[in-house]
Structure 1
Amino acid sequence: MPVVEVEGRRLSLSRLEKVIYPDGTTKGEVLHYYAAHGSAILPHLRDRPLSLLRYPDGPDGELFFTKRVPQGTPDWVKICEVPRSGGGTMRQVVLQDLASVVWAANLVVEFHTPQWRYETPGVADRLVFDLDPGAPATITDCCEVALWLRERLAADGLAAYPKTSGSKGLHLLSPLRPADSREVSEYAKRVAGEAAAELPGLAIATMAKRLRPGKVFIDHSQNAARKTTATPYTLRARPTPAVSTPVTWEEVAGCADPADLAFTLPDLPPRLAAHGDLMTPLLNPRAARPLPGS
């Protein structure tokens, strides 16, 4: 089992030659991606309790979602106590450094985090909309909804930053001054309802799956304190090594084909070189704006 040193920590990495994705992408390539680009993903993970979607045998194998601390977690990986909805607390991992990111990536995971930090559970510092297209709708339809939401949020003084979900749709995130997750959820639900009313035949804001075909579901529920969202730059358990990739509004407005906003592991190095981290405003307290009405 290879042993590597990352920022002074010794890590045992397993089965680097194992093929994870059907296109031939190996576990070693996955780990190299996270090690090489940890400076981009780490700021979006830091201080947030981690939820993991594990797929150790690839996206066609067993997938299991966990919030609990994985067995064998090193003692140098930070652990926090998170309140549980039914009372009591649960221990979760917090990735605070690059060594912790590489350790977690060795488990073959998607990274998911809530909209709040472990020191202030249930106090959100960002707003999120998950735009999920129901076939035959595609990400191109999500882009139309995203542009409407961008203007609607701007009217309330909020800036929105888009990224691909790494699956079928788009995520929009806005930096907020800390606010109760319940208030953020109520605001997001109201705006989603407005979008559905203004974009009939294109967008819906209700959970009913029977209503989704051909429309974009504006999922506002991920603002709830108990919910999580795929972290920027995380790989996803898809048939290809898809990455949840920040994009420009110009790319959103110009999307004419789903392939225009489909990014996989090899696409990220040149994008980061060209754009840097397009989600940097989410990390800047000066960019945060108050929740309307608060």
Structure 2
Amino acid sequence: MTQKVLVRVDGRELSLSNLDKVLYPDAAFTKAEVIDYYSRIAPVLLPHLKGRPLTVKRFPNGVNGGFFFEKNAPAHTPGWIPTVNLPAPGSTKNRETIDFPIVNDLPSLVYYANLAALELHLPMWRVTEDGEPLAPDTLVFDLDPGAPATIVDCCRVAVLLRDALKEDGHESFPKTSGNKGMQLYVPWDQGPGTSDYAKALAQRLEAGNPHVTSVMAKRARPGKVFIDWSQNNPYKTTVAPYSLRANRIPTASTPLLWDEVEDCRSPDELVFTAPDVLARVEEHGDLFMPARA
């Protein structure tokens, strides 16, 4: 039988269910702990979610069970969670448009955490208060290591990217993906064109480094770091900073200090779980705050 608990979060009443369900069996990490993490990380997470259409990856039976991506706000979504109706090219359900949720506040975040929406994914652009898409305000490079390359190799490429971006007048901010790779975010105020610029820069680095590829084909990646510039497509999303990931243990996409990137010698150095991330925020605040354009 489903166990439900009624709670009030910032004046909103929510019904939380199955709080003792274990969502990360190897860590004995429960839904209650997932909700607790998202509630406690909310002060630094919510500014990154604000105004961005949200896509979630839900794991109702935990990370060892099935999952599904959800873009369309569920039918039972509370009316106080705003939605925006946007085009949905390539929709798996042949929808022409989708009602994306916008998670701007703590009750909305807790609502999605209660749905076992472990992973939060965002585009590099926001919408206006009227729901109209704006130009991208962020450029992203997704660094994906092809085995036997690891995040250590991604760190080397991240430094090269940082320096190349600096030459072009751009500041960049690193974070782990929470999986095996990492991302660099670049505040952007030059309108459309992020994809073209990102592709050209990735190709520039590829030309001077045999351990880098800008080619998407899997056969081109073994032993190299793939600089995925295509995440700048307006219909693509990237995992949000501070989002949990559906791994064996509750890792999270974690903003980094450049010193940590430069000094990384082992993949284990850049594995951060939910408690680690909360402790880091306590120490450093939101390292990703400057990445918000």
Q: Any residues of structure 2 matched to 1:128-147 within 5 Å, and which?
A: 128-147=140-159
Letter in 2 for 1:197: A
The DSSP-based 3-state class of the residue aligned with 1:117 is coil
Q: Distance in 2 between matches of 1:241 and 1:70?
A: 25
Question: How far does the alpha carbon of each residue in 1:140-198 deviate from its partner, in whole angstroms, 9 at most, with x for none?
Answer: 00000000000000011100000000010111001111511xx1100000001111111
Q: Which runs of 4+ in 1 moved over 4 A?
A: none
1:187 to 176, 180, 197: 197
1:79 Cα deviation from its structure 2 partner: 0.7
Cross-structure match for 1:25: 29
Q: Any residues of structure 2 matched to 1:126-275 within 5 Å, and which?
A: 126-177=138-189, 179-180=191-192, 183-200=193-210, 202-275=211-284
Question: How far does the alpha carbon of each residue in 1:98-139 deviate from its partner, in whole angstroms, 9 at most, with x for none?
Answer: 110110111112100100112252610000000011111100
Q: Distance in 1 between matches of 2:122 and 2:147?
A: 27
2:52 to 48, 53, 57: 48
- Does the aligned pair in 1 maintain the 2:172–2:291 contact within 8 Å? no
- Does the aligned pair in 2 maintain the 1:82–1:118 contact within 8 Å? no
The DSSP-based 3-state class of the residue aligned with 1:37 is helix
Letter in 2 for 1:198: G
- Does the aligned pair in 2 maintain the 1:49–1:80 contact within 8 Å? yes
> Cα RMSD (Å) of the superposition?
1.3
Letter in 1 for 2:230: S
1:14 and 2:26 matched: no
The DSSP-based 3-state class of the residue aligned with 2:52 is coil
Task: Tell me the matched-pair count.
Answer: 281
Classify 1:45/1:178 alpha carbon distance in 2 versus 1 (closer, same or farther; 3 Å).
farther
Q: Distance in 1 between matches of 2:267 and 2:62?
A: 24
Question: How far does the alpha carbon of each residue in 1:65-100 deviate from its partner, in whole angstroms, 9 at most, with x for none?
Answer: 121112311111111111233795321100011110
Q: Any residues of structure 2 matched to 1:100-119 within 5 Å, and which?
A: 100-109=108-117, 110-119=119-128
So what's the TM-score if we normalise by structure 2?
0.93
Question: How far does the alpha carbon of each residue in 1:32-87 deviate from its partner, in whole angstroms, 9 at most, with x for none?
Answer: 01111111110110100000111111221111112111231111111111123379
Q: Distance in 2 between matches of 1:158 and 1:179?
A: 14
Q: Distance in 1 between matches of 2:147 and 2:74?
A: 36
Cross-structure match for 1:279: 288
1:4 Cα deviation from its structure 2 partner: 1.2
1:89 to 92, 97, 105: 97
Range with bigger deviation, 103-112 or 247-256: 103-112
Range with bigger deviation, 240-249 or 171-180: 171-180
Q: Distance in 2 between matches of 1:237 and 1:33?
A: 14
Cross-structure match for 1:98: 106
1:239 Cα deviation from its structure 2 partner: 1.1
Gaps in structure 1 of 5+ consecutive residues: 286-294
2:5 to 2, 5, 25: 2
Q: Distance in 2 between matches of 1:189 and 1:45?
A: 26
Gaps in structure 2 of 5+ consecutive residues: none
Cross-structure match for 1:67: 71
Classify 1:122/1:226 alpha carbon distance in 2 versus 1 (closer, same or farther; 3 Å).
farther
The DSSP-based 3-state class of the residue aligned with 1:80 is strand
Q: Percent identity between the aligned chains?
A: 48
Letter in 2 for 1:191: L
Question: How far does the alpha carbon of each residue in 1:223-243 deviate from its partner, in whole angstroms, 9 at most, with x for none?
Answer: 000000000000011111010
